[in-house]
Amino acid sequence: MTLRTKTIIGIASIEALVLAVLIFTGLQWLKNSNDSRLETGSKQLVSVFASATRDAVLATDLAYLDSFAQSITAEHNLAYIRITDRNGLELTRHGEYHNVTNHNLPSEVTDGVYDVCSEIVVGGQFYGKVEMGVRVDDFQALMSQATRMSLLIAVLEMTLVAIFSFALGTYLLRRLEKLKQGVEQVGKIGPGGQIAITGNDEVTRVGEAFNQMSLSLALAQQGLAQKHQQQIELTEKVTELAQVAEHARDVIIITDAKGYITWVNPAFEALTGYQFEEALGKQPGDLLQGRGTDKAAVAQMSASLAQKKAVKVELLNYTKQGHAYWVEMDISPVLDQDGEVVRFIAVERDITERRRVNKRLEGALEQATKANSAKSDFLANMSHEIRTPMNAIMGLSELLLDKVTIPEQHEKLKIINQSAENLVTIINDILDYSKIEAGKLTLNDAPFDLREVLEQVVELSAYQAKNKGLPVMLDMPSDIHTQVIGDKGRLNQVLLNLLGNAVKFTQKGHIKLSVTEELLGQGPLFRFTVEDTGMGIPEDRLPYIMDKFEQVDNSATREFEGTGLGLAICKHLVALFGGKLQVQSIQDVGSTFSFTIGLKLQEDVVSEGMAERVVQSTSAIQTEEEALPALNVLVAEDSQVNRMLVEAMLANSQLNLIFAKDGQEAVDLYQQHRFDMVITDISMPRKDGYAVTSEIRALQQSSQFPWCPVIALSAHAMLEEQENCHQRGLDDYLTKPVKKHELLAMIAKWGVTADNARECSSRYV
């Protein structure tokens, strides 16, 4: 049976029951109300008739009674009326009188006449009675008609109810069919499907609830799918991790929150000798730690774990057989959502062999450090030992060049001097590269005049190129910034090296040094370019030309000499400036070396002061011996050759030179005379140059002697030595072998301050 049929039957049954109740109740009410009205009216009417005929009955006025009965019967549509006396004798009668039946209600009569009577009583005496038959056939006809109409209405109502119930059922079924289709769709393709909903009734609410349920199920299914996928991925990861843990070479230990072992991997068994069953429920420390285990490291580990922090330590552990081994232990606490520790995971790596290797490496490093220190000492000592005789060779050959006029002898002296300079250059390159390898080569920024530096390097290179007839040109814009801050010496070294190579490898053509400036937000960038028209560099050697000990010609019969360190040093120096040395070359055409570095600009005031100082310095360098002021100069030098050389270099000056053969003699002479300047060697017998300087400064601080400059003249060329000199109280530094113009320039530089020693000495009071 369909829902529609059930709906129709249900509604029809309810409607039939309601109609039956209504019809029955209505008819019953109609019957009762008519019964009451007829009964009351009939009794009242017969009572009135009895009262009206009382006198006539007493008087036995038959004519009146007959006339009254006739008129009453016609007027009230009575079936009959009959009046009798006390003896039951009929006085009058009109209508169809029949046997009177006693009915309680008018509706209970079967012959259509409702019989009523009323006694005629006077003074308590019965004198007769009036009997009357009231017609009720109209009432019965009305009741019959009402019953028929009610049944007709009931049938019509039931028909309409059936029709409307069918329509309603069909409407509901159609809407429910949509819900059914939606449910079937969810069953086939899963939740998320929606059904079209119209109207604003309960079915609409059910449809909306279904749509919402479908969406909720779709979201729930999506969430379940994601969780399922996550669970699958988690399971895969757990499987992978389990496989990793099972096959890991490192030891993995998992303990509970109290530190008792709950799981170990096979690597643990292999390393320690303990099986899983033996380790289960034990604490790792009880199994593995022993007499050699560092208690402080264990305490530190326990303290960190107590604070829920991960810890990494190196411990000495022991196997089941008692063999010691070192492990690097990394322990991490695993916390729950409340931040409480639920377990610890420890990963241990056997580092026994690594510690052995490290110990050997430490020993090797110590040996290498000692060897490197020995190398540095060797280089410093060799530099010192070579520079001392080279000072005599270069100095004396330079002096003889000014005096020898015979061309053949002059040329030989020139070769001696040039060879000595080449040897010093090689020594300097070796020292510089040694510093580069040790990471000790740094830049010392100071204000300088860029134009002056470029002009000097070009002038020096032009002097070297003069014999080849090569012009050395400088291309420098007039508007370029010249008052800058940087390491003048290292820039000078790079440019001289590049220009020197250009002169060496160029036989004809020209050599040009050019500089350009580009202003950027962080300051100016200067691009330096050295180009020549020399032999060029083979293409296959370009990538390696700046490597150490590399040369254009590495053959055993090479024409050009050198260490092969120059470009390697230039490359590192340019890198220290923040730039990069680049090269372009075509064999038999020429080469171009270029680099870009940043130099800071001097402040205006600083620039003016620097310009003044540069002018003074330049003037001092160009000063002839005769222009030097008359100064008392103490020269402390243990080498007789060097003493003779200094004396020869300054022979034409106004200087009063007093020589000391060792440090102690220098201190004694200083106390006996008033000196305006002290020039001292560093390495001397009895007292070295530092001790001499210290005692001189002490004498000056006692106010007995005025301040004077103390200048080092030493074969120690290491930068550390020069810095040490400044820290130990010396004012300046000259490196052997010293050239005449360098010595004159240094004396001229400090001779200005020596003229006013009293003012200077106030700094030491």
> DSSP secondary structure string, 528-579?
EEEEE-SS---GGGGGGTTSTT--S--STT-SS---S-HHHHHHHHHHHTT-
Same domain for 69 and 101, yes or no, is yes
Would residue 278 be called left, alpha or beta, if left means φ above 0 and alpha means ψ between -120 and 50 degrees?
Answer: alpha
pLDDT at 223: 82
| Sign of the dihedral through C-alpha 203, 204, 209, 213 | positive
**Half-sphere exposure (Cβ direction) of 283: Cα atoms closer than 13 Å:** 7
Residue 643 lies in a domain: yes
CATH code for the domain in which residue 580 is found = 3.30.565.10
* 147 and 17 in a common domain: yes
Q: What are phi and psi of 247, to 5 degrees?
A: -105, 0
- The span from the CA of 525 to the CA of 488, in Å, is 16
In a domain, residue 66? The reply is yes
Residue at which a domain ends, from 131, 155, 179: 155
Q: CB atoms < 10 A from the CB of 641, how many? A: 15
461 and 399 fall within a common domain: no
Token pair recorded at residue 194: 């929606």
The span from the CA of 429 to the CA of 434, in Å, is 8
Are residues 341 and 363 located together in one domain of the fold?
no
Contact 122, 73 (CB under 8 A): no
Q: Strand pairing of 311-318 and 472-475?
A: unpaired
The confidence score (pLDDT) of residue 345 equals 92
Give 711's contacts (C-beta < 8 A, 6+ positions apart): 677, 678, 679, 680, 730, 731, 732, 733, 734, 746, 750
Domain boundary among 116, 139, 155: 155
CATH number at residue 45: 3.30.450
Q: Are residues 41 and 122 in the same domain?
A: yes
**Are residues 457 and 603 located together in one domain of the fold?**
yes
Mean pLDDT, each 10-residue run in order, the chain (765 residues): 69 76 76 75 80 82 84 80 86 78 70 82 85 78 79 81 78 74 72 71 74 80 83 81 78 91 90 91 90 89 90 91 91 90 91 89 84 70 68 75 78 72 67 65 84 87 82 91 89 88 90 90 87 88 69 44 69 89 90 92 52 38 64 92 88 91 94 92 91 92 86 78 86 86 88 59 44
CA dist., res. 1 & res. 264, Å (int): 69
Whether residue 147 sits in one domain with residue 261: no
Nearest in space to 750 (alpha carbons), one of 573, 605, 623, 606:
623
**CATH number of the domain enclosing 255:** 3.30.450.20
- Tell whether 576 is covered by a domain: yes
pLDDT at 156: 84
- Is 686 part of any domain? yes
Task: Respond yes or no on whether the N-terminal peptide bond of residue 477 is cis (omega within 30° of 0).
Answer: no
Two structure tokens written together for 598: 């940043």
Give the pLDDT of residue 661.
94
486 in a structural domain: yes
The edge-to-edge listing of strands for the beta sheet with 261-264 is 261-264, 251-256, 341-350, 324-335, 311-318
Q: Look-up: residue for tokens 């230039």? A: 570
What pLDDT score does 611 carry?
39
Do residues 506 and 602 share a domain? yes
- 567 found inside a domain: yes
Q: Is residue 132 part of a domain?
A: yes
Cβ(563)–Cβ(547) under 8 Å? no
Same domain, 643 and 713: yes
- Classify 706 as helix, strand or coil: coil
Contact 700, 354 (CB under 8 A): no
* The total number of structural domains that make up the chain: 4
Q: Which of 318, 350, 382 is the last residue of a domain?
A: 350
Within a domain: 215: no
pTM more than 0.75: no
Query: For 597-610, how does the pLDDT look when each residue is reduced to its tens digit (9 = 90+)?
Result: 999 988 643 444 43
Residue 615, both tokens: 């002018």
Same domain, yes or no: 666 and 743: yes
Q: How far apart are CA 404 and CA 390, in angstroms?
A: 20
Expressed as residue numbers, the domain containing 24 is: 3-155
Q: What is the CATH number of the domain that holds 762?
A: 3.40.50.2300
Sheet with 446-449: list strands edge to edge.
446-449, 483-486, 600-601
SS3 675: coil
Tokens for 561? 């000499």
Q: Report the alpha-carbon distance of residue 734 to residue 756 in Å, rounded.
A: 23
In this structure, the answer to whether residues 721 and 676 fall within a common structural domain is yes
Give the integer Cα–Cα distance in Å for 657 and 637: 12
553/665 same-domain check? no
